[in-house]
Structure 1
Amino acid sequence: MCVETTMLPPRDATGIEVPDEVVEPLGGGGAASGRSPTMSGMTTFAGITEQADLSALSGVTGWFSLSIYILTVIALWRVFEKAGWPGVLAIVPIVNLFILVKIAGFSAWLTLLYIIPIVNLVLSIIVAIRVGRGFGKDGAFSFFLLWIPALQVIGYAIIGFGRATYTKPV
């Protein structure tokens, strides 16, 4: 009785077929393979960069989003400096949220409430109104130009580059 065996293509943990150049023999690495033992079981750096998809910035939407982010950072930089905080903190996305909560007169720990659905909406409106009040703006200005995402860049630019001065809300 003769049993015929066929070799199946190698697959990763999710069941997706893996190209031959990524597959290493069992025990990988070592002098025979030409790789260092620390690289066993890992793909090369070139393999990782080939897999990276950077096409998000190739479209109009990606460049538009990047430009809005840069304009927001510039406006927040000025707002932070007026409030007595280092402007460079506007660049880091989560850190700038902590600083906005501090400018609103709250503890930075309240920023953790942004994780909770519904509560984050209420907190963001309160923070926007308190930041606006700290710069001498009324509630309508704060709601429309500091809370609505499409208009935030305009609102923070008006505060940052305008004549508004900061007084810590109580």
Structure 2
Amino acid sequence: MISANVVTDTADLTTLWGPYSIVGLIFYVITVVALWKVFSKAGYPGILAIIPIVNFFILVKIAGYSAWLGLLYFIPIVNIVWSIIVAIRVGKGFGKGGAWSFFLLWLFAFIGFFILGFGRATYTKPA
């Protein structure tokens, strides 16, 4: 007879190191590298990109808003609209248009932030 501990231990290990977790970790590392460069270009310490919740607040500051407005990320439904607004404003700060920002900074953020961070785009704080 199989003990309950053996089944749960196996399930925990499978969940922790499953293929989705590894892919998620890879996307997180790619996004952190890209955000590090974007933060540096905008005049903020790049190391803040590593800290998951802090990087939202720094993106809000890069978008030209008060960091307190970063709390809107914690309100359901509002966070979707707010993240689109922040993405468009960050794109505007780097000289990109609204459609570019929507698709590459909101839908495919890991690609868009790489383009901003490693490309020729320069940051000017949005008015």
Query: TM-score of the superposition, structure 1-length normalised?
Result: 0.67
Distance in structure 1 (CA, Å) of the matches to 2:76 and 2:16: 29
SS in 2 for 1:93: coil
Corresponding residue number in structure 1 for 2:102: 143
Larger-gyration structure (1/2)? 1
Corresponding residue number in structure 2 for 1:79: 38
Corresponding residue number in structure 1 for 2:113: 156
Matching residue's letter, 2:29 = I
Relative to total residues, which structure has the larger helix share, 1 or 2? Answer: 2
Matching residue's letter, 1:165 = T
Matching residue's letter, 2:50 = I
Matching residue's letter, 2:101 = S
Distance in structure 1 (CA, Å) of the matches to 2:51 and 2:126: 24
Unaligned 5+ residue runs, structure 2? none
Query: TM-score of the superposition, structure 2-length normalised?
Result: 0.88
Identity of aligned residues (%): 68
Task: Give the aligned length.
Answer: 120
Unaligned 5+ residue runs, structure 1? 1-18, 20-49
1:34-55 residue CA offsets vs partner (Å, 9 max, x unmatched):
xxxxxxxxxxxxxxxx7xx343
Report the RMSD for the aligned CA atoms in angstroms: 1.8
